[in-house]
Amino acid sequence: MGTYNVHAGHCPQGQGANGAVGLLQESVEDRKVKNRVISALQSAGHVVYDCTDDSNCNVSQNLRNIVAKCNAHSVDLDVSIHLNAGGGTGVEVWCYDGKTAEIAAVICASISNALGIANRGVKYSQGLYVLRNTVAPALLVECCFVDNQNDYSHWNADKCGDAIASAIAGKTVQGNASTPVQNPAPVPNAGFDFAGWIGRLQAECNAQGFSNQEVDCIPGPITLAGCPLIKRGASGNITRLVQERLNSLGFCCGVDGDYGRAPFHETYDAVMAFQRNHGLVADGIVGPKTWSKLLGLS
């Protein structure tokens, strides 16, 4: 069985950098396709992560959010779902290089046959941000043209999603559009240096005046008492350490030392997910109870 990242491109419709609009709305239809692809692949036993960014942000932040989510997982392939615009017709798949050309060609043919639209074939670009910056091999599917009447008349998001999933799975698979997409349970990073992380946290809390404790790499009540409140607007090395720990536990976010402000929700969402997972009040604030869980004290 394979392991995949799948995401819909752009922000949600009507928010931030949403996609192309014509007879179809890209940010609406690509999410339908994405859900169907994930549902179909999961029903066939594959592990699939939904790396869609649903925040309200600009183009650059949207792309960075998607790539950060993708690179938090070790997968066989990253699949980016889009709909095209510009007056053309048909389906095409973009690759960074020849590594994904074979599966890209199969996806093109599968969508073309399922929808009865033109097969524009495999194309290459080293300028597309997601293809250039994801760790795993990646491809970008332009399912059809939102501004073409022929494509619109043949459009069916479920058929398109099943066609993509079947091409990837190597057999006919079908999804259930009514089934909510669930990411796999968070997988801790077995290679994470927890003791080293504790030591760096202790040293940083001392350096910033929050504590005066021995840097012994052992978590305890003194370490917990020296951890400051971290919430939206926070930035710096302690915020980075929080991000590192969340990622090590499978709660994915960027590691940039910036907790972020609305509408950039990545670290906030990761904290909320961690809190819900550990039976805490999900307020997005790293206070004593959340620190205690991060430190492994409770």
CATH of the domain at 247: 1.10.101.10
Q: Tell whether the model's pLDDT for residue 178 goes beyond 50.
A: no
- Number of other CB atoms surrounding residue 45 within 10 Å: 10
φ, ψ of residue 262 in degrees (nearest 5): -55, 135
Q: Quick check: helix, strand or coil at residue 59?
A: helix
> 237 and 149, same structural domain?
no
CA angle 182, 186, 192 (to 5 degrees): 160
Choose between 119 and 57: higher pLDDT: 119
Looking at per-residue pLDDT, the higher value among 273 and 197 belongs to: 197
For residue 181, is pLDDT > 60? Answer: no
- Domain end call among 152, 169, 186: 169
Q: How confident is the model at residue 249 (pLDDT cuts 50, 70, 90)?
A: confident
Same domain (yes/no): 104, 203: no
Task: Tell me: do 8 and 92 sit in the same domain.
Answer: yes
Asked whether residue 99 falls in the same domain as residue 222, the answer is no
Q: How far apart are CA 252 and CA 261, in angstroms?
A: 17
In a domain, residue 189? The reply is: no
Radius of gyration of the chain (CA): 21
- For the chain, what is the mean pLDDT? 91
Q: Is the pTM of this model over 0.85?
A: no
DSSP helix/strand/coil, 4: strand
Stretch 232-248: mean pLDDT, rounded? 92
Last residue of a domain, one of 169, 203, 236: 169
233 lies in a domain?
yes
pLDDT at residue number 235: 92
Sign of the torsion formed by the C-alpha atoms of 83, 86, 87 and 93 = negative
First and final C-alpha spacing in the chain: 36
What would the mean pLDDT of 46-62 be, rounded to a whole number? 91
**135: CATH:** 3.40.630.40
- End residue of a domain, out of 169, 202, 218: 169
Residue 251 or 121, more confident = 121
Among 81-85, 148-152, 185-189, the range scoring the smallest mean pLDDT is 185-189
Residue ranges making up the domain that contains 66: 3-169
Q: Are 80 and 71 in contact (CB under 8 A)?
A: no
Residue 152 and residue 290 share a domain: no
Task: Confirm whether 185 is domain-assigned.
Answer: no
Assess contact for 205 and 211: CB atoms under 8 A: yes
Is residue 167 within 8 A of residue 93, CB to CB? The reply is no
E strand map for the chain: 3-8, 47-50, 77-84, 91-95, 119-124, 138-145
Q: CA 147, 29, 13, 261 torsion: positive or negative?
A: negative
Q: Does residue 139 share a domain with residue 41?
A: yes
Buried b vs exposed e over 153-186: b needs ≥16 C-beta within 10 Å?
ebbbbbbbbbbbbbbbbeeebbbeeeeebebeeb
35 in the same domain as 137: yes
**How many Å apart are CA 80 and CA 5, to the nearest integer?**
8
Where is average pLDDT lowest: 162-176, 186-200, 223-237, 273-287? 186-200
In a domain, 174, yes or no: no
132 and 244 share one domain:
no
Q: What is the pLDDT of residue 285?
A: 94
Instruction: Give domain status of residue 138, yes or no.
Output: yes
Q: For residues 53 and 164, state if they share a domain.
A: yes
How many structural domains does the chain have?
Answer: 2
pLDDT value, residue 269: 82
Q: What angle do CA 251, 248, 206 make, to 5 degrees?
A: 110
114 shares a domain with 55: yes
| 187 lies in some domain | no
Distance of CA 272 to the CA centre of its chain: 16
Q: Which residue, among 117, 11, 104, 19, has the nearest Cα to 58 in the 3D structure? A: 11
Residue 177 belongs to a domain: no
Residue 198: predicted pLDDT: 94
Does the pLDDT at position 297 exceed 60?
Answer: yes
Position 279 scores a pLDDT of: 87
Same domain, 229 and 160: no
Same domain, 53 and 200: no
176 lies in a domain? no
